[in-house]
Amino acid sequence: MNNPLTLLIAAVIVLVLGFYMLFYQVSFDEHAVITTFQRAEAPVYAEDGTIAEANSVVTEPGIRFKAPWPIQNVHRYPKKVQLLPQEKAQLLTADEISVVLRTYVTWRIVDPYAFFVELQNLETVRQRLNSQVQNLQGEFSRYRFDEMVNTDPAQLRLTEIEDTVTEKLRERIAGLGYGIEIERVGINRLLLPESTTQEVFARMRSTRERLAASAKQEGENTATAIRAEAERVKGQILSFADAEASRIRAEGVREGLVNYDVFAQNPELAIFLAQIETLRQMLPGSTLILDANAMQFLDLLTGRTNDPAAGNDE
């Protein structure tokens, strides 16, 4: 019984190996290039750059037949976008501030045949792209530090910097025939060396002090304008008050002249009214009823007397 089971297992293994050697599978997220004796047949391209006849290139998913190795071999390449992080690089900005940038490149394979011929594997493309990105680091130095780091979003130009470097890298790669397309060059991180950090803090402090001085001066100018306006209004009010006081005094003088004529004709009435006014000032808020003869005590306060003899002494 062991012999049939062993034969069955051996047959299954042979079938699996045979299937593995004679068939291959391409996933939906892969390209494949089939080589015969390590050589690939170039596809036929249409005028718009698309592949008209695939030949050794496989772009559609599925299971296909191939000759066993070493006659034919399958080289698979991903369709999805690849991320290539870059090493940190220290450079100077346009205003000579030292910064440390860490960038990244996203790319994908658009022509698997050209990729196979020129690069063959992903490690090679990483080396080539790293070299090209290093050559473009000077583009970052064309911008000032405040265009990379700023609290005001309107002053930032990071997107413009990334767009510029991306376009230049695309132009360079397109001329090399690598069969790849650059999706994006971006800034992943921006760091400052310790010396630059101190310089930036000093510049920020100077900027804040300048803004504070400007705000203080603006406040003083506003305060001066307010005080000048208050003085002007004060002058108008005082001028109006003086004019009104002069008018009232003139009116009082006129009325006084009229009253003077009346009192000149009746001096006893004038004296009586003066005494009443004196009592009103001496006893504010009080009600006091006095006989007219009792009013004579006021003469003692004023030093006046009705004694004819006293008048003769005077």
The pLDDT of residue 314: 39
The pLDDT of residue 196: 62
* The two three-digit tokens of residue 168, written as one number: 């230049």
Q: In the block, which residue shows the tokens 């997107």?
A: 159
pLDDT tens figures, 31-82: 888 888 888 888 887 777 677 777 888 888 888 888 887 888 888 899 899 9
Burial class (CB in 10 A: 0-12, 13-18, 19+), 303: exposed
Q: In the block, which residue shows the tokens 């190996």?
A: 17
- The percentage of the chain sitting over the pLDDT mark of 70, rounded to a whole number, equals 79
- For range 205-218, the mean pLDDT: 84
The amino acid at residue 188 is N
Q: Look up the pTM and report it.
A: 0.56
